[in-house]
């Protein structure tokens, strides 16, 4: 999945999950498009989401519905300006000298190469799959081109924007971080090219002679150093390294060089070395960062949250398998609730067909079981998790249904049981220990049902 496709899928999901009034798509339209995609054949999660988003984008009730839903990014002009500055800095660093002689050891080549080798080695290390560094958030927030809502929570559009940012911001920041690394590598290569251009441009209008002087290197040491530095460039270009001229090119503090050498052969070697040790590695690193960037969308779609979203979408399409009966106890039946219960049934039976919904009257469980038609092998009982589980009511109901299934001689004599926590989660949403309360509540339900031949969904 490309990044553009992921953003479009996230737009659709954000609007779908926050547009309660159906201003963009009605529930029937969402269900129809999902069924259209799923029934065309077995599709992967990313294919399902991309095709569905593409169809929904063309069937929106309001034009321009997703124009404001855009992840943060840097303007192109800022990147281009940075590259131009890098080229100018490289040009400035390549000053060949104030006089007609240039000191080979004073050119910035060595520092540029050492700096680039360190960066290249660090760039080859695995990039953490966690959140992007904090500085990326600060940088993007200063030049973020997203419109700012005065009170995002007060309008449907603002709520949709918040949901979209929750779905994409982490991936967008990580993508920006990797792209920034690629831009940085390109900038380093451009800086090297600027240095090369500067050396040749200055050499065009003025003849330079090459010398060297150093406090640390003697003549033999200089030969060994330049041999090590320029051997790769010499091998690639076929140009020899004039090492035999170095003793005569040695300039001292109080003595001029006996015979300064021609600068052009050394400029050629300098340029080739920058190309081999800076431009080429940086270009390869750009490809590496681009590869890492392309995997961000796939990593997001493969996360548990997006997989669960795809599962919810698939669950609205009846499968080719047998149908199922969903029994609920202490729960009101509405469209959103039935969608949740169908998702639970689909989680249990991936090919589940049509679903028959029944509500077990609280206080009349015995009469309901006595008049219930045959449940078949696929039966899901959903309890309201907010209720207090009692052996005389909920456990008795499960045992009665199990006995009924045995009497019906169903192929599978066990019952699938689920807890609907929608009401309870809403009630405890403001509590810091809400999740712990939910876990404790679920444990109390399992304690009441302990020992029964049921399958917890």
State the DSSP string of 205-220: HS--EEEB--SS--HH
How far is residue 179's CA from residue 186's CA, in Å, rounded to a whole number? Answer: 10
Residue 150: per-residue pLDDT: 43
Provide mean pLDDT across the span 225-251.
Answer: 90
CA angle 302, 179, 173 (to 5 degrees): 55
Structural domain boundaries in the chain: 76-147+173-294, 320-456
- Is the CB of residue 49 less than 8 Å from the CB of residue 310? yes
Condensed to tens digits (0 to 9), the pLDDT of residues 125-166 reads 776 666 677 777 777 777 665 544 444 555 667 778 888 888
Query: Residue 99's pLDDT band (boundaries 50, 70, 90)?
Result: low
- Over pLDDT 70: what percentage of the chain? 91
- Is the CB of residue 347 less than 8 Å from the CB of residue 412? no
- Residue 211: what are its φ and ψ, rounded to 5°? -140, 175
Give every CB contact of residue 74 below 8 A, 6+ residues apart in sequence.
140, 143, 176
3-class secondary structure per residue, 327-387: EEECCCCCHHHHHHHHHHHHHHCCCCCCEEEEEECCCCHHHHHHHCCCCCCCEEEEEECCC
How far is residue 164's CA from residue 145's CA, in Å, rounded to a whole number? Answer: 15
Q: In what order do the strands lie in the sheet with 209-211?
A: 101-103, 209-211, 261-262
Provide mean pLDDT across the span 414-433.
Answer: 85
3-state helix, strand, coil in the chain (%, to 5): 60, 10, 30
Residue 235: per-residue pLDDT: 92
- Is the CB of residue 246 less than 8 Å from the CB of residue 219? yes
Highest mean pLDDT among 105-109, 201-205, 279-283: 279-283
Provide mean pLDDT across the span 110-120.
Answer: 80
Condensed to tens digits (0 to 9), the pLDDT of residues 173-193 reads 888 888 888 998 998 899 889
Is residue 63 exposed (0-12), middle (13-18) or buried (19+ Cβ within 10 Å)?
A: exposed
């Amino acid at each position: 999945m490309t990044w553009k496709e992921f953003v479009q899928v996230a737009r659709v999901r954000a609007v779908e999950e926050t547009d309660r009034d159906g201003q963009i798509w009605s529930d029937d339209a969402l269900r129809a498009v999902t069924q259209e995609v799923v029934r065309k054949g077995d599709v992967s999660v990313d294919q399902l989401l991309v095709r569905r988003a593409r169809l929904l984008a063309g069937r929106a009730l309001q034009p321009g519905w997703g124009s404001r839903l855009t992840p943060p990014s840097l303007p192109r002009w800022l990147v281009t300006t940075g590259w131009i500055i890098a080229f100018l800095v490289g040009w400035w660093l390549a000053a060949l000298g104030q006089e007609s002689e240039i000191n080979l050891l004073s050119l910035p080549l060595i520092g540029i190469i050492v700096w680039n080798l360190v960066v290249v080695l660090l760039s080859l290390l695995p990039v953490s799959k966690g959140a992007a560094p904090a500085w990326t958030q600060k940088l993007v927030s200063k030049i973020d081109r997203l419109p700012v809502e005065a009170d995002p929570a007060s309008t449907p559009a603002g709520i949709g924007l918040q949901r979209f940012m929750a779905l994409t911001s982490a991936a967008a920041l990580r993508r920006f971080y990797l792209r920034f690394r690629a831009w940085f590598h390109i900038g380093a290569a451009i800086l090297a090219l600027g240095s090369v251009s500067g050396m040749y441009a200055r050499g065009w209008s003025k003849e330079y002679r090459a010398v060297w002087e150093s406090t640390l290197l003697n003549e033999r040491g200089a030969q060994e150093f330049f041999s090590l530095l320029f051997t790769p460039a010499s091998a690639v270009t076929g140009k020899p390294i004039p090492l035999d001229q170095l003793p005569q090119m040695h300039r001292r503090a109080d003595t001029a060089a006996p015979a300064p050498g021609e600068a052009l052969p050394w400029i050629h070697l300098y340029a080739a070395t920058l190309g081999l040790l800076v431009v080429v590695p940086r270009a390869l690193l750009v490809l590496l960062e681009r590869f890492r960037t392309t995997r961000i969308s796939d990593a997001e779609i493969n996360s548990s949250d997006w997989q669960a979203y795809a599962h919810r979408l698939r669950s609205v399409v009846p499968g080719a398998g047998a149908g199922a009966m969903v029994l609920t106890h202490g729960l009101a039946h509405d469209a959103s609730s039935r969608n949740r219960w169908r998702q639970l049934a689909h989680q249990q039976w991936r090919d589940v067909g049509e679903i028959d919904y029944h509500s077990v009257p609280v206080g009349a469980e015995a009469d309901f079981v006595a008049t219930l038609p045959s449940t078949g092998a696929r039966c899901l009982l959903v309890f309201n998790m907010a209720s207090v589980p009692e052996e005389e009511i909920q456990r008795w109901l499960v045992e009665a249904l199990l006995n009924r299934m045995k009497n019906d001689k169903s192929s599978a004599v066990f019952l699938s049981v689920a807890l609907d926590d929608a009401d309870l989660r809403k009630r405890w949403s403001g509590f810091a220990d809400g999740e712990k309360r939910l876990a404790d509540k679920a444990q109390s339900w399992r304690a009441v049902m302990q020992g029964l031949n049921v399958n917890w969904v």
